[in-house]
Structure formats: C-alpha cells, structure tokens
Structure 1
C-alpha cells in the first residue's frame, strides 16, 4: 500500500468533517430551552425535532457507504457535508414553522451520514496495519469533539441571537469543511479490478461481519447506560449538584476520547483488533456489575466506577470499525462501515428508554446488572477466530 506523506492531514480533515456534522446531529439538545421558549413545544415535541437528524442519518448510512465504495471518498464526503450545511442554514433562517425545519433537519442528517462511512474508509485506505488502529482511534474522537464544540457554542449563540440564528454556526462549519475536503483530501489507491469482475459480498462468505456488527451493538449498551444516566444518577441518587456533576462528566468524557486513541495504539502493537475488543467486553461486564454493587452498598464505589467505566465502555469503538473495514475488504468497506454504524446507532437509540423504564420500575442496581448481560454476550460473539484466519491467509506465501 502506498504511504501518503499527507495521510495525517487527511486524517485530520476526516476527523474535522465528522466533528462538524456532529455539532448539529448530536448538538441540537443544547438548544432545547431556546426552541421550547420560541416555539411553545412540549418536551416530547422538541424531542422529536432534535432527533430528526439522527433518524435521517440512520436511514442513509449504508447507501452512502455504497456510494463511497463506487465513487470514492472525497466526492462523497464533500457533497454530503456541503449539502447538510446548506440544509441546516435554510432550516435555521429560511423557514418560519417547526414542521419544515424538522424535515430539513431530517434530510440534513441523511446527507451528513456521508462522512461517517467515507471518512473511515479514507483512513483505512491511507494507513497501514501498523498505524491503522491508532488512526481510527483518533478518528473516533470526532463525536465527543463535535459535541464538545456544540456545548461550548450553541447555548451562548442561542441565548444571544435565538436558536435559528445559532444553527448558522454548524451550517457554516459543515460547508467550510466540505470545501477543505474537496480541495485537500485524496482518495487512496484501489487494487486494480476488471470491469467485468464482480466482488462477492463478504456477508455471504461467512458470518464474521454479522457477528462483529452484533458484538459492537452489544457493547454500545454499557456505553450509553453510563452516558445517559450518569448525571441524573449523581444528582438524584448521590445528591450532587447539577453543576458539579456536569464538570465531573465533562472531564470523564475527555478521558474517554483519549482512551479511544490509546486503545487504537494498543491494537496496533498487539497486531489484533478483536482480541483487545473481547478483553474490553470482559472489562465492561465487570464495570456494570460493580456499578450495580456500588449503588447497593457503597456510593463511593459507584462514583469511581462511573469515572473508569466512561473510559472503558467507549474504548472498543474504534476497534470495531477498524476490524469491520479489514474483514470487509476494499471493495465493500464503505457499505460495511455504514452497516456497523447503523447497528451501533440503533442500539444507542434503544438503550436509554429501555434501561430508563427498568430504573423507573425497579432500581438503578438492577438496571446496571442487566446492562452487564450485553457485554458478556459480546465476549462470546466477537469473531476473533475470523480475524486470525484472515491474518494467516495474508501472511501465507
């Protein structure tokens, strides 16, 4: 594989492009008070509005991955992200009713999904196996970076200018990054293939990718069990103030982003993605059990486990993406990454309401204990043997 001296610049642009998309896809909750005040919406109604970009993203991830496989990463990222920025801008300042705004946000989320599969694909193409885990770990910090940027800007812009004008910030950010991607990103080389040659789907050849998607989705459950309920748990069960809980969790989120990078480097040194992923599944199981135990008998233990668990439960994310692209191969990596992202987002959407219902009907301790079942299942479903077989085949003379 050709080594591009600009590969780190391309990685930075891929990360920045996805972070820009995240500022509106996952950053809209920071405008909720201003949306409700301006539009008179109930909490349920505003919840539908802020979830619109995520729904759009889920609907188009695989399609954008297929487009990246066929047409290349640069054009897919630039077109999708640029379209998303324009749609958000039109929704913010070009509409007056909530319904057309919601539709435009839905379509903008669908357009932004282009970055998810294509940015991972371009990273996989330019980084070799010895750097790939680190590179994908860095790329996977895009979501916390984007949400952090939204948290630092959107509430202040919403208070000063109104929520519609505040939407111009992520819109301009998306358009700017789309231009930079179009100018500076290079598609990685692809192995030559005859026009008449058809590439068989890796999903038909073995169950490895299906198992990997399932394992990654299972590992999302402890991640979102902690992220969704930590602040409420610290305030209601541990009697912290919301401000103190927010600062604590902000620091923990930063540590989680650093953990993704460190885990990627660990995988490179180990020469494996899925063995570390399985070990992290064991650790996530222990985290959820200790969290439940702490809630029952030792509040200090629960707080300590939240801090450690917020790092451990997100650390596998980049490993799953890297392994997905490697198992899928060049011709199918865009679609496979889209499927991976879809499975994880579905699990992320289902976890808070289902575990929340369990907390309301029983207790935090039981909900956390139930949350331990999912990473425990991932210990057995992670297809380590398939990765070993692929490596042996690649090393064979």
Structure 2
C-alpha cells in the first residue's frame, strides 16, 4: 500500500529561489511551495503543521518542506489569504521579477512578470510590491553579489528613494546582519558594499565602513591611496583566499580606525589599529553580531599591522602577540587572523600577488612553541614563575628561528 501524500489533490506550485536557481543551472535552494484554493483548516486536516505567526505557512508532515497559502491584498492593501486568491496575485507581492516565477507539478513554468527574460539578461528588476519591506534593498544588493547581476536603472532609483525617505532606519538589527552575513558568503562581498554605497544605504547600516571612502593613505604603502578602495581590494583578496565569513567580516572592519585618526595627520594614520577596536565593538553591538565574529574582528583591527612588521619584532614581542591572539588555545582563529592580515597586505594596487611570508613566519612560530607547557619548567618553579618560564622558553625558540630567517 502506497504512503499517503497529504498534498495530493491540492493545487501546489514550486516558487521562489528554487525555481530561479534551477533555471540558472545552479544548485537549487530548499523547496518552497505555494498552495492555491485552500485554507488553513484544510491544511491542518491534511496533517500539515503550522509555523510562524505573520501568515499561514505549514510544514509537510513527511518532507518538512514549507507550504504557504496564496496571499493577496484586500481593499485596504492589507495582505490576507483566501481560497479565491490566484497564483498571479500571490506572485505579484514578491520583490523581484526573477523571484516571481513558479513551476507546477509537471515542471511547467509560470512567469507572469517576465522573470525568465530578466534571468537571461542578468538583470534584477523590482515589482511594485518591492516597497513593502525595506530589507529588500539589502536583499537586492546581496542578490546582485550572489548572482553577479546588474540592477535595472528604475530599480536603482526606487531603492535610492526608499533610502532617502529613511526606510532603513527601523530595520531590526538581526535582519540586517542576516543579509550582511549572506553577502559575506557570496562570490563578491565587494559588489555588495559598492551597491549599498551607491544606493546611499551603506552610510545608514554600516556608517563606520562608509566613512572610510575618501580617507587618504600614504601612497608609498597604499598606491590606491583611498582607504575605501583599499577595503574593496582587500575584500577581493579575502574572497580568493577563503570562503569563511568570519575572516571576510574581519577584513571588512579591519581598518575602521583610519576614519578616526586626526585629519591634520593624514595621510598618516598612526594608532589607527587601537582606534578601530571600539568602532568594531560599536558596529557589532548595534547589529548584534555573534561574539566569535566580534572577537576575530577586534583582533584583526588591533594587531594586523604587527603581523606586517613581524620580521622586525623582538622575540618577546612576538610571544606577547601570539598570547594576545590566544594562538595556542585557539589555533583555528589564529589561522583565520593570519588570512585576514594577508588579505589586507595584498589588497593594494599592484601588490595583489606579492608574497606574504609574515604569515608563514608566524605559523612556524606557532608550530615551534605550541608544545611548550608547564611540564617543561623545573619542578621548583611555582605560580607566576611557571608562566614566566614558559614565556622564556618560547622566546628562545623564536630567537633561534629569527636567526634562521636572517641567514636566508
């Protein structure tokens, strides 16, 4: 006897990102369904489990896929569900044409707003309901970065006008972070930042990052000069080096302190590393960014310059650096930190492919010293003497390694 299918007899359609990605030949996302001509009572009677509070969404009792009742707008403009709402009405409330397509059970495409044509041309084009949710501005930028699509000019104008009217001001921080995180995982976080800046949204959601554009740097070390451009180039480099969003976020905020140095000292930014730490904290608290992201970002801000100067540092200073980075207890985060520093060093005009031996030097220091512990200290040492003894042994190892490097 075949297993009962709760969806049998329902008018259901695949919708959203799954349809879009399938047409693009990309690995599809989770499948979402819209149900036309049904009601909450019928869905419950068929065994579907309700989730959420804002509108009727149900989980399939077997596949756990989401099934949402079709929604439309009543005479007052309020969203509601009804068995009379058509598939086209439901699709019309979506944000972009490429997200307003559906497939029936036989794989036939329903495309009332020409999303397939926009897919073929690589264009993001809004639907009238785009203005329903200001988060769609961030999603627009994120999808552009994710798909490498351009944005229709009329959609750019609409997004700019929404930003100018203050629509982003009341967005919950968790929703902003969710889109930022997805953008950091995309093929081009740089493009995301560029689009937000062009739309005027960057200064609203990431003012500390927006402030970097137009800040000069010494041409000797930064041929690109502009700090904002350096940031974009560093994002390009870290995207090539790792897919890890923790590292990419650390690179995004590593130079915030350069906007806080006294303008009278520009293009020099002495002390920008320490000045950036509270700005990183400010940004992370405002957007309620997870602690592990904040921890790595703070370290990247505070210590990236010391890594660039690693060959010039004394053994004791290098030992303190690895201690401050918690390298011996958190080697994974130490490696993430080194990748962020490499992206910073190579995110400069004409220096993109320049080797970064400082990272390997610090990796060797870690390998040489990671096994040193209290067991290597004389038995008559107690208390602080043990810590000092471990520090001394580490310094000796590092001093010997530095001599090898000087001979090369």
**TM-score category, normalised to shorter length:** under 0.3
The structure with the greater share of residues assigned to strand is 2
The structure with the greater share of residues assigned to helix is 1
Larger Rg: 2
TM-score by length of 1: 0.25
Q: Pick 1 or 2: higher relative contact order, CA cutoff 8 A, min separation 6.
A: 1
